[in-house]
Homo-oligomer: A and B are copies of this chain.
Amino acid sequence: MNAYDELMKFARTTQALAQVAGRLGWDQETMMPRAAAPQRAEEMAAMEAVLHARRTDPRVGDWLEAAETSGPVQVANLRLIRRDHERARKVPARLAAEIARVTSMAQGIWAKAREEDDFATFAPTLKEVVALKREEGAALAEGADVYDAMLQDYEPGATAGQLDAMFARMRPRLVALREAVLDRPAPPALSGDFDEGAQMRFARQVAKSFGYDMAKGRVDKAVHPFSSGSGLDVRITTRTNPADPFNSLYSTIHEVGHGAYEQNIHPDHLLTPVGQGVSMGVHESQSRIYENQLGRSEALAGWLYSQMKTAFGALSVPDAQALYAAINRVQSGYIRTEADEVHYNLHILLRFDLERDLIARRLEVDDLEAAWNARFEADFGIAVDRPSNGVLQDVHWSVGLFGYFPTYTLGNVYAGCLYEALRRDVPDLEVGLAIGDLSPATDWLRDKVQVHGGLYQPRETIARACGEEPSEEPLLRYLEEKFGGLYGV
């Protein structure tokens, strides 16, 4: 075997082990017996140790040096393996282990602090996490910008400078739209009592309509919905709330976007580095376009109305148009994951600025709660009433995910670009949506984006799909048009 083949054989086994570790995570959130946690922590640590040893294996460096490549797939695989290898080698094993230990513990402390609505009990742990992540960031950055180095874990090629400039262009238009919409009366929400078994059956039916392949996946319940795995075994989760069927419905469609992406990567790439979604931003573009541009579209609302009547019986809203208004109801609120499309990115911009300040030591953990509350009131016009509605609401920082938040808005921006290109390429898209036929949209996304996996760089993936460089303009136009229409502004 030549060096490339040897490297790929090794990488394939590593990837298979990473899939196993990922499925262990799925199991923990869906199936694990409740008293198994201490044993599971050791199992996860053992898998992580195996994976870390493989990523830093000196033979990988030798093979990378010796490998000769031909063609874009080989080039992309080498690029991705090199990135992983170099990243793993830059972080001392001692520090990697310490981050794993502290963040695993921190998650529990965060959850308890959130439950008790007390930031002070979480602050000492968060300080530890921030200190460790600053140290890791410095090791990764090798003298360059630390936050930029962190971003590469989630969005290779992105820089804080670019994101900052883009967010600055978005902010005034999002604020203006928000103010205009909030000046108008809100349409009625959907009310009623919705059987949770029926919600799960409906979730599975809608997942299939959106192209999720049940032969390569499954839908279960979890407290926080997520998607897990790639290739032939991609599982999603959702949740149910008897008072709110949209929670389950749109969690499901969102996760189907993530899951379909992983299911639709070209089968030749199975268990190779190219055989994974390319970045968090591109991943989120799929989940968001499924959820919002398609799932909350006016064209789909007619079909959705009839399906929901079949699933749940009579509805409190009289017709498809009222349903369309209800699923796009704009409301100021504390919680990011419950935010409407108008508010969502403002939540992200807040977190992006605060976490950049934290990493750059312009802000310390002791001042974080006050900084959050001041910024939130300025941006959203309401005062944070308790930490669980503010600085304690997201798990991300507790587990050391700094640099992750901006990929949510980047995903929305990419979704805006893709939706514009999709409408251009598939002019009668709405004809299909009106009868619940998502396939013209999902086939286009599959062929233009999903099938490529990690073959191209993230931004390049979107640019090739759209035929032009991505920008925030299409998203802003889409939001202004949609909510302008809905609210008559």
Contacts and interface: CB of A to CB of B under 8 A. Distances in A.
B39 A270 contact: yes
Given A19-B39, A23-B27, A47-B20, A33 B231 contact: no
Contacts of A271: 39, 42
Interface string A37-68: 11110110111011000000000000000000
Contact of A38 (B37, B42, B232): B232
A24 B24 CA distance: 9
B232 A31 contact: no
Interface stretch (A132-140, A214-222, A307-315, A358-366): A214-222
Interface string A1-19: 0000000000011001101
B214 A46 contact: no
Nearest to A41: B16
A32 B215 contact: no
Contacts of A235: 33
A39 B218 CA distance: 16
A233 interface: yes
Main secondary structure of the interface of A (DSSP, over half): helix
A34 interface: yes
A223 interface: no
Interface residues of A, number: 38
A33 B217 contact: yes
Contact of A13 (B13, B40, B49, B232): B49
Contacts of A213: 35
Contacts of A17: 43, 46-47, 50
A370 to B, nearest CB: 41
B270 A33 contact: no
B16 A45 contact: yes
Contacts of A49: 13
A165 interface: no
A115 to B, nearest CB: 21
A36 interface: yes
Contact of A19 (B32, B43, B216): B43
Contacts of A47: 17, 20
A49 B49 CA distance: 15
Contact of A232 (B19, B27, B33, B46): B33
Given A17-B43, A20-B20, 20 more contacts: A12-B42, A13-B42, A13-B46, A16-B45, A16-B46, A19-B39, A20-B24, A20-B43, A20-B47, A27-B27, A31-B31, A33-B215, A33-B216, A33-B218, A33-B235, A35-B213, A35-B215, A35-B232, A39-B233, A50-B50
Interface of A: 12-13, 16-17, 19-20, 23-24, 27, 31-40, 42-43, 45-47, 49-50, 213-218, 231-233, 235, 270-271
